[in-house]
Amino acid sequence: MVDMSLVAPDSLMNLSSSLSSLILYSCDLQGKLPSSMRKFKYLQYLNLGENSFSGPIPYDFEQLTELVSLDLSENDNPRLEPISFDKLVQNLTQLRELDLSMVDMSLVAPDSLMNLSSSLSSLILNSCGLQGKLPSSMRKFKHLQYFNLGENNLTVKKHVEDKAVQKHSHLVRKVDASLSVRGGELGKGPRIREEDAVTIYASIDVVSSIIQKNQLENHPWQSNQA
């Protein structure tokens, strides 16, 4: 949290190309994201969250193939085009943690999320302008522990039922399900037992949805809503 408001983002390119970790979280950096990130080919951890970066996310980010953790969250609505997202998920196969909260992904199809690395343990895409149908099968993300797709305009297909989610629900430690659910029938979905999920944020805006009472019994969010 060093004040770097007077530092030009492009000057970051003068840093050593041998860096494996670059954490500049909440440093008040502003302007466009650096367009020559390819030089940091050894980077494994990159956190530029909570700054004031804007504009399109450069193609160079797709060349950081060693990245394990990428955080571009809570900036000034930087934009991720579909082709850039596709390249990111195609090349960043080592990713374990991805946080793109408040990155404009309004043109990215929700189904393309299925192309993300199956090794992800954390996926946070809060307030990204995502819209359309949420992929009905998330079984490939069997290592997922933190999952947030809140504050988007996603719909859930009717009668969505994915047994794989239930099978791996013991791995999920934190779920933010604050989705704008339209026309779904959540009662048909898999049960997540209290002993399986440590914390479930269920601030779900349910419209035309049926939630069976026995689905809610002994769920950890009940006490929070009382």
Average pLDDT score over the chain: 77
What are 206's two structure tokens? 């349910």
For 183-193, the pLDDT digits (tens) are 333 333 344 33
Confidence of residue 67 (pLDDT cuts 50, 70, 90): very high
Residue 215 belongs to what H/E stretch? helix 213-216
Pairing of strands 97-99, 69-71: parallel
User: What CA–CA distance (Å, rounded) separates 151 from 15?
Assistant: 36
Q: Is residue 16 part of a domain?
A: yes
Q: Is residue 31 part of a domain?
A: yes
Mean pLDDT of 44-50: 98
Q: Is residue 130 part of a domain?
A: yes
Q: Is residue 182 part of a domain?
A: no
Residue 70 β-bridge partners: 46, 98
pLDDT at residue 199 greater than cutoff 70? no
Q: Is residue 124 part of a domain?
A: yes
DSSP 8-state assignment for residue 153: E
Scanning 23-154, the segments in alpha helix (DSSP H) are 82-91
Confidence of residue 141 (pLDDT cuts 50, 70, 90): confident
pLDDT at residue 19 greater than cutoff 90? yes
The closest of 91, 77, 88 to 33, measured between CA atoms, is 77
pLDDT at residue 159 greater than cutoff 60? no
pLDDT of res. 170:
42
Q: For residue 122, what are the domain limits?
A: 9-157
What are 223's two structure tokens? 């006490």
pLDDT of res. 97:
97
User: Structurally, how many domains does the chain consist of?
Assistant: 1
Q: Is residue 178 part of a domain?
A: no
- Asked whether 122 and 98 are in contact (CB, 8 A), the reply is yes
Spatial neighbors of 217 by CB under 8 A, at least 6 apart, are none
Q: Is residue 87 part of a domain?
A: yes
For 117-133, the pLDDT digits (tens) are 999 999 999 999 999 98
pLDDT of res. 52:
97
Give all strands (DSSP E) within 138-179, no chain letters: 146-148, 153-155, 174-176
DSSP-assigned states of every residue in 121-189: SEEE-TTS--EEEPPS--TT-TT--EEE--SSEEE--TT---HHHHHTGGG--EEE---EEES--GGGS
CATH code of 61's domain: 3.80.10.10
Q: Is residue 164 part of a domain?
A: no
Percent of the chain topping pLDDT 70: 69
For 86-101, the pLDDT digits (tens) are 999 999 999 999 999 9
Kindly report the CA angle at 181 between 176 and 185, in degrees rounded to 5? 110
